[in-house]
Structure 1
């Protein structure tokens, strides 16, 4: 495809999505399904106008997916309710840690015994497909911080956390393949890749988010006429937290999500506001002045970053569609996707939520809506860039692309009817 053709294609797609946004909300389909279908049509499965090779373009795809995930993690983080409490966050934490670990284990066993992959490759495959996706799961994400739906909150928070907590398993898989140092009996992996990288990532994010929130509030109270480019502050926070994390070998995805959560929490606390942006009481208002509306960084930057997230989604899903051939849909790949969707994910979710007060219908839906997407592609490209052997890389690319494409289609078709039915059942019980 020529440059002109690409611009025409993207421009036409943006116009179609822009004009049909309200219609798409009323039908059992998602915008990602539209992008994927267009990718099928113009790619090798259709007119063959272009073919994107993930192996040859792994460096480019790693960069694109990395940026998309970072923006999406920020958007998810600033919509998390404040204050952060263990009671509220218990379910998503168990999903992001316990359930994801179980999924990695189940997929590794399936990959080793049924797909005949080397042990390291099987563990790596588990790490690639285990985390749920914050980019493509927009239909099951919280709409805003005051969204009362526990299911959407659990899935959004899970996606924000496990995109970082999956990294230790990626490194474990690479280590078992001889591409990363694990240390004696895995001690280095446990201390550096699990304990240090995870803790440091969360700590860096919390400190960065608090610092930005505090500085903005301090400047606004000291210099009343201060104005900020909130969108730039949001992007700056993403880049700063991620860069510091890379510098000290911490997990940057966790840092960005934590920074976004800390930013929102800090801004609300320092402004004397509560979860629903309630105005301070008369006793809290200084000098009897009427409370004034404040343009918070986390609010103002969210809209801009969500638009960037949508643009990244369009490009990346088009590339996914343009990477698949008709013979990509082998029984081996489709069978693996079925195992992940219908066995590994539901089992791991139900076990992970043992001991919680989550109702059974919420557990069932959480077990079904484990959307896989851009995050999985990033981890795989990251592994390829770290020396993954070509034969294994091609095999994992094949399996991962089919899983992501089927997730877009199957979860996309079922999400709206399932969520609507879930809400009806809740209302009938209440």
Structure 2
């Protein structure tokens, strides 16, 4: 495709989605399903106008997916309506760490025993497909600041955390592909990739978010007439937090999500401290009272930068999913790949949610819906491309690309077709 054709295609698609024609609304098509359809029509499966080779363009796709996930994590973090407490966050934390670990184990079992993958590759496959996606799951994510719906809160905070908590298993799989399993390897992995990388990312996120809130509050108190560029400040926080995490071997995705939460909560706390007696009443989200609402104190950078970043997130979703459609061929739909996808959605996700939430007190109805909406998407593409760029053998890289792409496409279709009916039923009960 020439540049002119690309401009026409993307421009037409943007206008189509911007006008929201009634036919798309009646069909209950999610944006991702529309983008995927366009990619399939233009790609090798239909007209063959373009073909995107993920193996040859692995580094470009890695960077593109990385940016999309970072933006989505920041947006999700700034929308979190609940100040951190174990009672309010116990369910998503269990999902992000316990359920995600169970998902890796069960998927690795499938890959090792049924797909015949080496142990390291099977664990890597489990880690690639374990995290739920903050980009493609916008229909089941927190919609705005103040949205305290327990299902949306649970899925959003889970996706924000497990994009970082999956990284240790990615590294374990890559390590086992290069070295045999040993106590020394496991010990080094636990200390460096699990404990240090997770803890350091959380600390960096907490500190950078808090410092930016204090810096902006101080500057605005001194120069109230000088407007600040909230978009630049938000993007700067993403870059600073992610860069520091990379420098000290912390998990940057987790750090950015924590930084966004820290920024918003710090802004709220500082605003309340400046106006004693006039602060907003804050209520923690309750899983038993989904209709409970919160009145929020005015936020600043976290609120002012949202509109711009949400537009960037939607644009990155469009580009990546159209490219995804251009990666598919007639022989993409193997029994191995489709079987893996169905196993992941029908067995692994519900089982991991049930086991991870034992004793949590979460209602059954919430567990059932969370057990279904384990959307896989751009996060999985990023981890896949990270592994390819890391140096996977070409044959193994092609196998993992094939399996991952089919699972992501199945997720877009299956979850996309069921999200609106199930969410409508959730609100109606």
Q: What residue in structure 1 maps to residue 74 of structure 2? A: 74
**1:94-105 alignment runs, 5 A limit:** 94-105=94-105
**Cα deviations across residues 77-130 of structure 1 (Å, max 9, x unaligned)?**
000124211111100000000000000000000000001111100000000000
Q: Which residues of 2 match residues 177-256 of structure 1 at below 5 A?
A: 177-178=177-178, 184-256=184-256
2:267–2:299 contact (8 Å) kept in structure 1: no
Query: Per the alignment, in what secondary structure is the counterpart of residue 339 of structure 1?
Result: helix
Asked if the contact 2:268–2:299 (Cα under 8 Å) also holds between the matched residues in 1, the reply is: no
Query: How do 1:152-163 residues align onto structure 2 when only pairs under 5 Å count?
Result: 152-163=152-163
In structure 1, the residue matched to 2:331 is 327
Secondary structure of 1:272 counterpart: helix
- Is 1:168–1:194's contact at 8 Å kept on the other side of the alignment? yes
Are the aligned partners of 1:210 and 1:262 in contact in 2 as well (CA < 8 Å)?
A: yes
Q: TM-score, normalised by structure 2?
A: 0.93
Partners of 1:138 and 1:294 in 2: how far apart?
Answer: 24
Change (3 A) 1:165 1:126: same
C-alpha displacement at 1:294, in angstroms? 5.3
CA RMSD, aligned part only?
Answer: 1.9
Contact 1:28 1:414 in 2 (8 A): no
Gaps of 5+ in 2: 281-296
Q: What's the offset of the Cα at 1:144? A: 1.6
TM-score by length of 1: 0.93
Change in CA separation of 1:180 and 1:132 when aligned onto 2, cut-off 3 Å: farther
Give CA deviations for 1:141-198 in whole Å, capped at 9, x if unaligned: 0112311211110000000000000000000000110179987141111101000000
Cα pair 2:81 2:148 within 8 Å, conserved: no
Aligned residues: 413
- Consecutive unaligned residues of structure 1, counting only runs of 5 or more, are 285-292, 426-430
Structure 2 residue 308 is the aligned partner of structure 1 residue 312: no
Instruction: Give 1:356's aligned residue.
Output: 360
After superposition, what is the alpha-carbon deviation per residue over 1:293-334, rounded to whole angstroms, capped at 9, x for unaligned? Answer: 956100010111000000000000001000001210111111
Cα distance in 2 between the residues matched to 1:282 and 1:200: 36
CA distance in 2, matches of 1:387, 1:231: 36
Q: Do the aligned partners of residues 266 and 28 (structure 1) sit closer, same or farther apart at CA in structure 2, a change above 3 Å counting?
A: same
8 Å CA contact 2:120–2:172 kept in 1: the answer is yes
Alignment map for 1:282-297 (pairs within 5 Å): 296-297=300-301
SS in 1 for 2:305: helix
CA spacing shift, 1:410–1:257, aligned 2, 3 Å: same
